[in-house]
């Protein structure tokens, strides 16, 4: 039971990270109607930016950990958001009215560019960071000495996810930009006719998605204590799986799907085999799409003729 | 990365020097922020697990300067040439003569390919490169059935290549079966996997289909990687038997081909044999595809690609249509995999990554979906181009990715051209397919 509780905590933390990435997929899919293949790499870039800005701030003489983390968060979000904007500008905007395969291939090309760019820029080796947030609580001490731990790091990851999610929900439901985004999701031509700047709205969607992915990258860096240039690919597919599982286009669905994938992956590694955890996650994608093509919270797709 | 300059200037607007400078300045600013941390500062894990870092402001400055200059050049070129369009870059008469030449290009290319081992007999490197290119031509033609003809986006094609390779390797090393027995078996097994993948994805389309096939490809790779007892895991399978010429081994033994013919043995014999073997397999793929295209099933594929709803309304069974496309494409992938295993003599999961799938898909799409000649030329260009960058190992994929993006922006329908449906209800209009874009036609 204790072991189960510990895995539950670990799974929820991992799921929060996936959920943050999944929001980017869901938003872009909702508006542009296609998978942003480079999104996983944006997450990876976010991790790198967080790592480098952290090193810089520490060497500048800052010692207050909360201040450093806040600054790192802001820098990572800002710079990674610009990456998201650039990706949209180069690989998507020129192809917006092109036939379906073209933007998808240019996105795959962009994903290769980002992966290999960070390999060239930062080397292929895994970059470790020492644990920054230490300490935690022991929730329950079992008779055999197995204790259920909840670290401060895990609390922070979940808290940051909740705060960002709340901010983001507010943004989509209450602001002008959010209204524009929902309008574009319904019908881009109509939205444009009614005075919505479609180009700007789509750009902002990429920017916000990238900013959230960069937070996920930073959390990943702090939680696992390392980044490498190739981590975006698998994390990207899993986050996409989460988005599909939750029902693509639905924001709460993305988080729910993220948590589900995090839990499934953690429990699979704990009770079955670590080697096949990715196989389990990808198999779920296929199974979900067979039996629930619209996911947990998705709306049925209307067939456009 | 001239991010800002990809926006098309409106026709008729004359932009002055201040405009160009402003644009270049903005591009440089964006580049400065983008690259400041990633290029300006280099991190590396030290020997004691501690991270070290140093600055590279020189590199950063030169990249930002390059973006600034590049932006000006591109903007000037754009004003000079006008809005970039494929019609403008390749004038219509040239395009017409090219399409005329295309009719002779195919046979000419085939004759040249047949003669390659004769012309370059002593140049092992060129022969090896030729085999590599032909392998990708075959893979491209195989995937062309799925993507180009049936319009089903498959991002996990390399899975079937892997199934073929491992089928042959396991059958040959465990049971000692010959290549010629294993080849059809490998193709059949891959086709079965194609059908198995086909079933769950029958209801999906577009991007969902792409991501499911991607996940499927990864599942196959991960299972191969982790099923140590059967596949050897990351160590792969070595000592895969070489193919024989219908039972006659191509080696230096007494009953080898050289001894039987009474000529001196040379290792080139085997290379030449492999060259003709893959050429034959590729041509088989091509021939079957062209024949199938004329049959009802091929026409159903093309109908499916053009419009799935209309296709169903016409009474075409989309289930069998999709499944046969997947199975046919997968079978050729399996053949190519078996050939790959026998050529290398060693296979490991490393050869079957997503990058390979993307490379083959890029060949199909860049060559022009459904165009047989286009795919062959694209394979020649891409694999040849890839070879040119071999010395720049780390930059290779970077350049490849950039090329993919740029070519898609330049010609979304493929460089060489794409194949229109074989059958029309009315006479085909004489307008370029590039002008008829989805949602605008």
pLDDT tens for each residue of A110-128: 999 999 999 999 988 888 8
Q: Residue B318 has what pLDDT?
A: 84
The single-letter DSSP state of residue B242 is P
Chain B residue numbers with beta carbons less than 8 Å from the beta carbon of A39 are: none
Segment B223-232 shows an average pLDDT of: 88
CB-based contact B340:B351 (threshold 8 Å): yes
The reply to whether A224 touches chain B by the CB within 8 Å rule is no
Segment A256-283 shows an average pLDDT of: 89
More confident residue, A85 or B114: A85
Find the range with the poorest average confidence among B156-160, B191-195, B196-200.
B196-200
Chain B residue numbers with beta carbons less than 8 Å from the beta carbon of A56 are: 37, 41
Strand pairing partners for A50? none
Nearest by CB: B437 against A49, A99, A118: A99
Residue A173 token pair:
């439901």
What percent of chain B stands above pLDDT 70? 83
More confident residue, A303 or A158: A158
What CA–CA distances, in Å, run from A96 to A15, A39, A182?
32, 17, 18
What CA–CA distances, in Å, run from A229 to B43, B351, B362?
12, 19, 23
Cα of B432 vs its chain's centroid, Å:
24
What phi and psi, each to the nearest 5 degrees, are found at residue A147?
Answer: -105, 140
Segment A177-184 shows an average pLDDT of: 89
Q: Residue A15 has what pLDDT?
A: 93
Residue B101 has pLDDT above 80, yes or no: no
Q: Residue A300 has what pLDDT?
A: 62
Interface of A with B in 57-86 (CB under 8 A): 59, 75, 78-79, 82-83, 85-86
What percent of chain A stands above pLDDT 70? 97
Residue A203 has pLDDT above 70, yes or no: yes
> Is A121 in contact with B39 (Cβ distance < 8 A)?
yes
CB-based contact B358:B188 (threshold 8 Å): no
Residue B234 has pLDDT above 90, yes or no: no
Q: Residue A277 has what pLDDT?
A: 87
Pick from B333-342, B344-353, B422-431 the range whose average pLDDT is largest: B333-342
Find the range with the poorest average confidence among A72-81, B10-19, B256-265.
B10-19
Query: Chain B: residue nearest A229 by CA?
Result: B38
Mutate to test the interface with B, among A86, A94, A103, A112 (most CBs of B within 10 A): A112
What percent of chain B stands above pLDDT 90? 26
Q: Which of A292, A210, A238 is nearest to A28 (CA)?
A: A210
Confidence of residue A304 (pLDDT cuts 50, 70, 90): very low
Alpha carbon distance A203, A82 (integer Å): 10
Whole-angstrom Cα Rg for chain A: 19
Q: For tokens 């456009």, what's the residue?
A: A304
Helix then strand then coil, in percent of chain B rounded to 5, is 70, 5, 25
Segment B248-275 shows an average pLDDT of: 75
Interface of A with B in 113-142 (CB under 8 A): 113-130
Q: How many CB pairs under 8 A join A and B?
A: 208
Find the range with the poorest average confidence among A43-47, A299-303, B328-332.
A299-303
Chain B residue numbers with beta carbons less than 8 Å from the beta carbon of A103 are: 408
Q: Residue A11 has what pLDDT?
A: 92
Q: Residue A163 has what pLDDT?
A: 92
Find the range with the poorest average confidence among A287-291, B132-136, B230-234.
A287-291
Find the range with the poorest average confidence among A78-87, B285-294, B303-312.
B303-312
More confident residue, A176 or A301: A176
The 3-state secondary structure of chain A reads CHHHHHHHHHHHHHHHHHHHHHHHHHHHHHHHCCCCCCHHHHHHHHHHHHHHHHHHHHHCCCCCHHHHHHHHHHHHHHHHHHHHHHHHHHHHHHHCCCCCHHHHHHHHHHHHHHHHHHHHHHCCCCEECCCCCCCEEEEEECCCCCEEEEEHHHHHHHHHHHHHHHHHHHHHHHCHHHHHHHHHHHCHHHHHHCCCCHHHHHHHHHHHHHHHHHHHHHHHHHHHCEECCCHHHHHHHHHHHHHHHHCCCCHHHHHHHHHHHHHHHHHHHHHCCCCCHHHHHHHHHHHHHHHCCCCCCCCCCCCCC
Q: Residue B229 has what pLDDT?
A: 86
CB-based contact B356:B158 (threshold 8 Å): yes
Segment B74-83 shows an average pLDDT of: 76
The reply to whether A29 touches chain B by the CB within 8 Å rule is yes
Q: Which of A16, A19, A199 is nearest to A97 (CA)?
A: A199
Mean residue pLDDT across chain B: 81
Segment B269-289 shows an average pLDDT of: 90
> Is A51 in contact with B43 (Cβ distance < 8 A)?
yes
Segment B359-376 shows an average pLDDT of: 84
> Is B43 in contact with A55 (Cβ distance < 8 A)?
yes
Find the range with the poorest average confidence among A24-38, A204-218, B73-87.
B73-87
Q: What is the DSSP string of B73-141?
A: HHHHHHHHH-S--HHHHS-HHHHHHHHHHHHHHHHHHHHHHHHHHHHTTT-HHHHHHHHHHHHHHHHHH
Give the HSE-up count for residue A79: Cα atoms under 13 Å, Cβ half-sphere. Answer: 28
Segment A37-41 shows an average pLDDT of: 92
What CA–CA distances, in Å, run from B357 to A187, B98, B214, B280?
34, 30, 9, 23
Statement: the pTM of the whole predicted model exceeds 0.90? no
What percent of chain A stands above pLDDT 90? 39
Mutate to test the interface with A, among B38, B312, B359 (most CBs of A within 10 A): B38
Residue B419 has pLDDT above 90, yes or no: no
> Is B210 in contact with A100 (Cβ distance < 8 A)?
no
Chain B residue numbers with beta carbons less than 8 Å from the beta carbon of A89 are: 3-4, 6-7
More confident residue, A176 or B396: A176
Alpha carbon distance B441, B435 (integer Å): 8
* Torsion-angle region of B317 (φ positive above 0: left; ψ -120 to 50: alpha; else: beta): beta
């Amino acid at each position: 039971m204790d072991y189960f509780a510990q895995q539950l905590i670990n799974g929820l933390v991992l799921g929060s990270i996936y959920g943050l990435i999944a929001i980017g997929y869901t938003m872009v899919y909702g508006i542009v109607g296609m998978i942003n293949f480079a999104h996983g790499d944006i997450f990876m870039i976010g991790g790198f930016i967080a790592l480098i800005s952290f090193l810089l701030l520490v060497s500048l003489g800052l010692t207050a950990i909360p201040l450093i983390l806040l600054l790192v968060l802001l820098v990572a979000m800002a710079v990674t958001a610009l990456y998201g904007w650039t990706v949209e500008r180069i690989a998507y905007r020129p192809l917006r009215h092109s036939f379906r395969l073209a933007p998808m291939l240019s996105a795959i090309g962009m994903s290769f560019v980002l992966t290999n760019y960070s390999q060239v820029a930062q080397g292929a080796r895994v970059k470790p960071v020492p644990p920054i947030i230490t300490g935690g609580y022991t929730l329950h001490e079992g008779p055999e000495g197995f204790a259920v731990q909840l670290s401060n790091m895990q609390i922070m990851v979940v808290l940051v996810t909740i705060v960002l999610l709340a901010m983001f929900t507010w943004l989509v439901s209450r602001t002008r930009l959010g209204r524009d985004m929902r309008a574009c999701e319904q019908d881009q031509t109509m939205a444009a006719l009614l005075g919505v700047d479609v180009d700007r709205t789509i750009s902002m969607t990429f920017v916000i998605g990238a900013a959230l992915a960069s937070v996920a990258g930073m959390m990943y860096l702090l939680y696992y204590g390392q980044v490498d240039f190739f981590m975006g690919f698998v994390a990207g597919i899993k986050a996409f799986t989460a988005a599909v599982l939750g029902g693509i286009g639905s924001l709460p669905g993305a988080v729910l799907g993220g948590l589900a994938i995090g839990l499934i992956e953690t429990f699979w590694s704990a009770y079955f085999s670590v080697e096949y955890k990715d196989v389990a996650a990808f198999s779920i994608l296929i199974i979900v799409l067979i039996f629930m093509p619209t996911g947990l919270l998705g709306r049925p797709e209307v067939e456009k003729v | 990365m001239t991010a800002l300059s990809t926006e098309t200037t409106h026709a008729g607007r004359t932009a002055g020097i201040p405009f160009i400078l402003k644009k270049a300045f903005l591009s440089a600013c964006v580049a400065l922020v983008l690259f400041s941390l990633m290029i300006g500062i280099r991190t590396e894990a030290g020997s004691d697990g501690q991270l070290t870092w140093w600055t590279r402001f020189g590199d950063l400055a030169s990249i930002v300067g390059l973006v600034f200059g590049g932006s000006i050049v591109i903007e000037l070129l754009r004003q000079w040439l006008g809005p970039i369009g494929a019609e403008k870059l390749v004038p219509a008469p040239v395009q017409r003569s090219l399409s005329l030449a295309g009719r002779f290009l195919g046979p000419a290319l085939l004759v040249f390919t047949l003669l390659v081992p004769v012309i370059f007999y002593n140049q092992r490197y060129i022969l090896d490169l030729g085999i590599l290119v032909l392998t990708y031509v075959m893979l491209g033609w195989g995937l062309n059935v799925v993507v180009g003809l049936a319009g089903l986006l498959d991002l996990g094609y390399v899975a079937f290549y892997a199934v073929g390779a491992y089928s042959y390797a396991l059958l040959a090393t465990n049971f000692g079966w010959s290549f010629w027995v294993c080849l059809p078996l490998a193709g059949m097994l891959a086709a079965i996997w194609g059908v198995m993948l086909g079933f769950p994805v029958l209801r999906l389309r577009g991007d969902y289909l792409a991501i499911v096939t991607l996940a499927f490809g990864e599942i196959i790779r991960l299972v191969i990687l982790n099923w140590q007892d059967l596949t050897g895991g990351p160590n792969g399978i070595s000592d895969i038997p070489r193919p024989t010429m219908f039972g006659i081994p191509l080696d230096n033994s007494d009953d080898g081909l050289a001894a039987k013919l009474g000529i001196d043995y040379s290792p080139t014999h085997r290379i030449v044999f492999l060259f003709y073997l893959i050429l034959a397999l590729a041509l088989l793929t091509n021939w079957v595809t062209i024949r199938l295209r004329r049959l009802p099933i091929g026409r159903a594929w093309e109908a499916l690609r053009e419009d799935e709803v209309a296709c169903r309304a016409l009474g075409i069974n989309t289930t069998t249509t999709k499944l046969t496309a997947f199975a046919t494409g997968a079978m050729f992938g399996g053949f190519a995999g078996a050939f790959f295993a026998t050529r290398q003599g060693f296979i490991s999961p490393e050869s079957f990554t997503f990058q390979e799938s993307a490379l083959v898909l890029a060949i199909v799409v860049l060559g022009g979906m459904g165009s047989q000649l286009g795919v062959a030329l694209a394979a020649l260009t891409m694999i040849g181009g890839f070879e040119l960058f071999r010395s720049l190992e780390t930059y290779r994929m970077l350049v490849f990715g950039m090329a993919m993006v740029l070519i898609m922006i330049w010609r979304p329908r493929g460089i060489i051209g794409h194949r229109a449906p074989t059958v029309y209800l009315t006479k085909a209009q004489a307008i370029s397919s590039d002008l008829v874009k989805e949602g605008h036609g």
